[in-house]
Structure 1
Amino acid sequence: MNQEKVWWKESVVYQIYPRSFKDSNGDGIGDLRGIIEKLDYLKDLGVTMVWLSPIYKSPNEDNGYDISDYQDIMDDFGTMHDFDELLSEAHKRGIKIIMDLVVNHTSDEHKWFIESKKSIDNPYREYYIWRKSKAGVEPNNWGSWFGGKAWEYDNASDMYYLHIFAKKQPDLNWDNPKVRDEVFSMMTWWLDKGIDGFRMDVISLISKVKELPDGDTHGGLYGDLAPYCIHGPNVHDYLKEMNERVLSKYDIMTVGEATGVTIEEAKKYAGYDSGELDTVFQFEHMDLTNGEHGKWSNKRFSLLELKKVFDKWQKGLKGEAWNCLFWSNHDQPRAVSRFGDDSHQYREVSAKMLGTCLHMLQGTPYVYQGEELGMTNVRFKSIDNYRDIETINTYNENVNNRGLQPEIMMDYIYHVSRDNARTPMQWDDTENAGFTTGTPWIKVNDNYKKINAKAQVNDENSVYNYYKKLISLRKEHEIIIYGDYELLSPEDENIYAYIRSFNNDKLLIICNFSKYIMNFEIPKELKGKEAKMLISNYPEEKLADNISLRPYEARVYKY
């Protein structure tokens, strides 16, 4: 594929985490019929595609990312009939549906793994990564990304299986052609059903180094498996095969979650002529708040570093691949809490500024549910209120095994726990934010009476209606999608400003990332020229050569 105009470049994707979106039957868990109820809300917002986090059959060790049947629906979420209705009703409204494809691992309750455990001679044994113990201990020293060891012992066969995430998530052996046949057959089944593509979970991890050597412990308890799992030896061969056998046969959109991806790797995965995927998620801007305990930190990002990351990706993929634009997802904290200011004074204006900054870049923007309302991180008082397996395991490991003070760990959790994004969607100011008539599976954020969809949909100055305008501008102005990108004032610690150019038009985007008044000088090439303000999060002021930007102010001018 070359750099032609295609529909998925022009889309705005809305990510739904079904468990937390809308409960239709009062059991406290969001479901497919709840999503159907809210399709008109999504149509009104203007999004053109929905990415559904996993809805497949699952015992829910990792909230659906542990799949026991790829061709059935989780009981909590409804039935395949409900899914078919959702797909049909979404399509009627011009909304496409992409599914989460989770094929690095399955659940240990998947029929393949149940068979695999029966004996070393079972035909399904080679569907997973089994190894003999080494001198009576694990095959290597790898630590799981969810805490603890990456190997689980099976008494019956005196062998271990690999799980780079939870022990109930055994890794598939992609080196086995039968595994690839099964996965490709399943993908074809869903595409024949009429879905519009896949978001591929941790797809950069599917190929492991065969020797499985020990990893560097970096002074910790376990070895680092990343160098032997990320962008493994056969990952590109397997994705080319997937494209050839499945993806190329459909007019769909694919996006890979590519942990540890670089510009050069991104071009291999998603270059216009790569023959693999359409796009990949990169996470460099998510890592800017990392500290001595990895992601578990209360560190504030640096705008200089953020601009460097965005600038690198905007320029690095130019003409060769396409960017994915996002501030948040189901694995990340809330955008306004991490990159804006979630205080009462500046939450709304900074949420609008973040939306402006992201949606005016080149790439396909993703809106995570509640981001369009300016939903914030949550501060539960006790670890007992959290549901995320990664959060709970890391708390136990750091507090109970490593002696970290509980209050320090809780502060880290307040900043970066995945549960920040998983509290129920705040629909209105009634009990449980209108999410459920029952007891929600995870507590609702206490601020739902002030921050909710009902209060915002009819308020023309709300975050919701600002996002609605951002999305509509994208449909009206090709320059927002296809324009070239040029960074201004790279050394400014408070202002992110850039220019987009397309044919004879230019956009000037200016975003103040601080709570202080900041001065910005219009670039020489634009001084004295007439401009129209496309959008701003403050009442409009006259354009001047020197602009005084108010706290978290964002402006977009078209020349």
Structure 2
Amino acid sequence: MFTKLLPFSLFLIFLLITLCRSDEDWWKHAVFYQVYPRSFKDSNNDGNGDLSGVIEKLSHLKDAGVNGVWLSPIMKSPQVDAGYDISDYYAIDDLYGNMDDLKKLIEKAHEMGLKIILDFVPNHTSNEHQWFKESENKSDEYKDYYVWKDAKDDGSPPNNWISVFRGSAWKWSDKRKQFYLHHFAEQQPDLNYRNPKVREDMKKVLLYYLDLGADGFRVDAFPFVFEDEQFRDEPRTFKSSAGENDYGYLNHIYTNNLPETYDLLSEWRHLLDEYSKNHEGGARILMTEACADLEQVIRYYGNEDGSKLGAHFSFNFLFISDIHKNISTAHDIVRIIYSWQNALPSIFTSNWVLGNHDNRRIPTRLGVENIDSFNMLVQLLPGIAVTYNGEEFGQEDGEVTYEQGNDPSSRNRSIFESTSRDFERTPIHWDDTTNGGFNDGAKPWLPVSSKYKEVNLASQLDESKLSHYQIYKKLTQKRKEDPARIGSTDAWAISDDVVVLKRSIESKHIVLVFKLGWHGKMEEESVYIPSIKAKEATVALTSVNSAYKIGSIINPQQFKLQPHESLILDISS
């Protein structure tokens, strides 16, 4: 009898192991969707998006095929820098609701199979945080919670370090009679991570939100958390034409990506891994923002042999930083794909990002006509796809004047148009009603774009019509198929203007081919798929402007593409 039951018992064990592993690995092929809460949905008509508005729109995210929802900062803040200046890590800002709203959001999301990722801002707090007030007053417990330094003999700042927001990174405190460090706005003093008490307090914050049900954290501005202990002047780069007050004027070898930074991240990874091991709900993950060179970004993943782990993934911003409309070519896109893939150790998971709250939206930056092509590219590349809210239906940047702007990094008329992040943060266009359906008519915190009548989600919900949103939905399903999920990856630039991406398992292939239409290349182009011998391919999906029909059969060795046209082909060979 025992021998008859044994195979079934082994099957059950295998099934349980498989299910557990799947739960732990949920993030490895996930679609992460960034919600910018203040601009997402205003449920109480006060002009600001809120957590109840996010709850209201969870069904949209589920419908779109999203797996993880990442919220930009929602903790209590004076909002000097859009919530990245936190005054209380254990409270939700009144703009967004309260802690009960967050609990409800997490509960509703989990019921729908969605994960919730919170923005965690560890480098600095608001100068209104109680820790800073105590530190400025030199109270025993908090005296060394921030980075304080004496002035030079002539009264000037301790060194030449420059803030990301321009000017000296040091601010004088009349109370304490010392300078404090701020890598961003002067209202954002940097915490001192060489103080073990600071590290312990920040671990407590992480554990608090894990206990609330958060599925992980996106860690903001992490390269800045440690500074040179000797506080040496940083050298010139000679790359910036903006002058000696510009952040790019210096090479930040003493304030970015110090070895201690990676050690701290490893501590936090261990904390989350242990928590995940001891609690149901799958892996809790860390996503790091590191605007650094490729080698440094990869280091945030951990050691190549896995002996020391860092973030589950560190954002790959190469499609943002290295691709420029009418400047870049198909060869540049392919170079980025291979440079990232070749640099990333095989034990780690790739990720691909097109936009976020700090960069112009895809249609604005890369062309309205190319939104489908780039969404296809990111969704079909191996690993994780990241979507910024509105990208799924092709929302462009909004129109914001200097007077209407809120971004502290651009409070200077001469640099507003080139540096302001307000344009990509304008409210989401849900429909063509008042304020694009963002609210019921109250003045939004940033103006709604005048384009909401033409470009909005509601106009693209008809499943019988091919639209940017319907294409996006089909993509999040297509990426679940095995060639896109675990297949090998090949990419080619078969001309300056045409990119081919092929995902393969044995004789089964999913192929993306698209024509940029840049550099004035507006003529039809003959196209072929390299390394494919088959004479037939099925059109699985097209861009909205394509003349090809889904389901039609074409010859992958010879077909035509129009400018801005993209096709996804299913091929067996």
* Superposition TM-score, scaled by structure 2 size: 0.86
Match status 1:507 vs 2:516: no
> What CA distance in whole angstroms lies between the structure 1 residues aligned with 2:190 and 2:58?
35
> What CA distance in whole angstroms lies between the structure 2 residues aligned with 1:508 and 1:334?
26
Shift of 1:351: 1.3
> What CA distance in whole angstroms lies between the structure 1 residues aligned with 2:439 and 2:327?
34
> What CA distance in whole angstroms lies between the structure 1 residues aligned with 2:406 and 2:563?
36
> What CA distance in whole angstroms lies between the structure 2 residues aligned with 1:534 and 1:164?
48
Q: Paired residue for 1:127, among 122, 125, 145?
A: 145
Q: SS at 1:383's partner residue?
A: coil
Q: SS at 2:73's partner residue?
A: coil
Q: Paired residue for 1:471, among 476, 484, 493?
A: 476
1:296-307 correspondence runs (5 A): 300-307=327-334
Corresponding residue of 2:9 = none
- Is the contact between residue 288 and residue 302 of structure 1 (CA under 8 Å) also seen in structure 2? no
- Is the contact between residue 28 and residue 436 of structure 1 (CA under 8 Å) also seen in structure 2? yes
Q: Aligned AA for 1:533?
A: V
> What CA distance in whole angstroms lies between the structure 1 residues aligned with 2:395 and 2:45?
23
> What CA distance in whole angstroms lies between the structure 2 residues aligned with 1:365 and 1:198?
16
> What CA distance in whole angstroms lies between the structure 1 residues aligned with 2:397 and 2:530?
41
Corresponding residue of 2:396 = 376
Match status 1:526 vs 2:542: no
> What CA distance in whole angstroms lies between the structure 1 residues aligned with 2:79 and 2:422?
15
Structure with bigger gyration radius: 2
Q: Paired residue for 1:241, among 267, 273, 277?
A: 267
- Is the contact between residue 184 and residue 246 of structure 1 (CA under 8 Å) also seen in structure 2? no
> What CA distance in whole angstroms lies between the structure 2 residues aligned with 1:483 and 1:313?
17
Range with greater deviation from structure 2 (101-110 or 497-506): 497-506
Distance 1:334 1:310, change over 3 A: same
Shift of 1:488: 1.4
Range with greater deviation from structure 2 (178-187 or 248-257): 248-257
- Is the contact between residue 378 and residue 445 of structure 1 (CA under 8 Å) also seen in structure 2? yes
Shift of 1:300: 4.7
The alignment yields a C-alpha RMSD, in angstroms, of 2.1
Match status 1:166 vs 2:185: yes
Listed one character per residue, the Cα deviations across residues 6-26 of structure 1 (whole Å, up to 9, x for unaligned) are: 210121111100000000111
Range with greater deviation from structure 2 (18-27 or 452-461): 452-461
Match status 1:461 vs 2:493: no
Shift of 1:410: 5.6
- Is the contact between residue 257 and residue 281 of structure 1 (CA under 8 Å) also seen in structure 2? yes
Shift of 1:97: 0.3
Corresponding residue of 1:543 = 554
Shift of 1:225: 5.9
Q: Aligned AA for 1:514?
A: G
Corresponding residue of 2:14 = none
Distance 1:167 1:74, change over 3 A: same
Listed one character per residue, the Cα deviations across residues 75-131 of structure 1 (whole Å, up to 9, x for unaligned) are: 010011111111111111111101111101111111111111002x53212111101
> What CA distance in whole angstroms lies between the structure 1 residues aligned with 2:398 and 2:205?
37
Q: Aligned AA for 2:60?
A: Y
- Is the contact between residue 289 and residue 299 of structure 1 (CA under 8 Å) also seen in structure 2? no
> What CA distance in whole angstroms lies between the structure 1 residues aligned with 2:100 and 2:347?
41
Shift of 1:217: 4.0
Range with greater deviation from structure 2 (149-158 or 521-530): 521-530
Q: SS at 2:113's partner residue?
A: coil
> What CA distance in whole angstroms lies between the structure 2 residues aligned with 1:114 and 1:451?
47
Distance 1:306 1:248, change over 3 A: farther
Distance 1:173 1:474, change over 3 A: same
> What CA distance in whole angstroms lies between the structure 2 residues aligned with 1:501 and 1:495?
20
Corresponding residue of 2:244 = 221
> What CA distance in whole angstroms lies between the structure 2 residues aligned with 1:300 and 1:524?
25
Q: Paired residue for 1:386, among 386, 405, 414?
A: 405
Distance 1:130 1:353, change over 3 A: same
Corresponding residue of 2:498 = 495
Distance 1:518 1:234, change over 3 A: farther
Corresponding residue of 2:294 = 262
- Is the contact between residue 165 and residue 185 of structure 2 (CA under 8 Å) also seen in structure 1? yes
Shift of 1:306: 3.3
Q: SS at 1:532's partner residue?
A: strand
1:7-406 correspondence runs (5 A): 7-119=26-138, 122-135=140-153, 136-218=155-237, 220-222=243-245, 224=250, 226-250=252-276, 251-263=283-295, 265-270=297-302, 273=306, 274-288=308-322, 300-317=327-344, 319-339=346-366, 341-342=367-368, 346=369, 350-380=370-400, 382-392=401-411, 395-396=412-413, 399=414
Corresponding residue of 1:293 = none
Shift of 1:256: 0.6
If asked which structure has higher relative contact order (CA below 8 Å, sep 6+), I would say 1
Q: Aligned AA for 1:221?
A: E
Distance 1:33 1:411, change over 3 A: closer
> What CA distance in whole angstroms lies between the structure 2 residues aligned with 1:527 and 1:209?
57
Range with greater deviation from structure 2 (312-321 or 234-243): 312-321
Corresponding residue of 1:442 = 446
Shift of 1:172: 1.0
- Is the contact between residue 314 and residue 485 of structure 1 (CA under 8 Å) also seen in structure 2? no
> What CA distance in whole angstroms lies between the structure 1 residues aligned with 2:290 and 2:499?
26
Shift of 1:34: 0.7
> What CA distance in whole angstroms lies between the structure 1 residues aligned with 2:123 and 2:526?
47
Shift of 1:378: 2.6
Distance 1:442 1:302, change over 3 A: same
> What CA distance in whole angstroms lies between the structure 1 residues aligned with 2:531 and 2:272?
48
Listed one character per residue, the Cα deviations across residues 225-277 of structure 1 (whole Å, up to 9, x for unaligned) are: 62222211301211122222344421212211112042465145345713221
> What CA distance in whole angstroms lies between the structure 1 residues aligned with 2:259 and 2:346?
27
- Is the contact between residue 483 and residue 501 of structure 1 (CA under 8 Å) also seen in structure 2? yes
Distance 1:302 1:529, change over 3 A: closer
Range with greater deviation from structure 2 (317-326 or 48-57): 317-326
Range with greater deviation from structure 2 (250-259 or 307-316): 307-316
Q: Aligned AA for 1:454?
A: A
> What CA distance in whole angstroms lies between the structure 1 residues aligned with 2:135 and 2:416?
39
Distance 1:174 1:302, change over 3 A: farther
Q: Aligned AA for 2:505?
A: F
> What CA distance in whole angstroms lies between the structure 1 residues aligned with 2:536 and 2:193?
58
Range with greater deviation from structure 2 (279-288 or 15-24): 279-288
Match status 1:480 vs 2:499: no
Q: SS at 1:234's partner residue?
A: helix
Q: SS at 1:180's partner residue?
A: helix
Corresponding residue of 2:570 = 558
Distance 1:363 1:72, change over 3 A: same
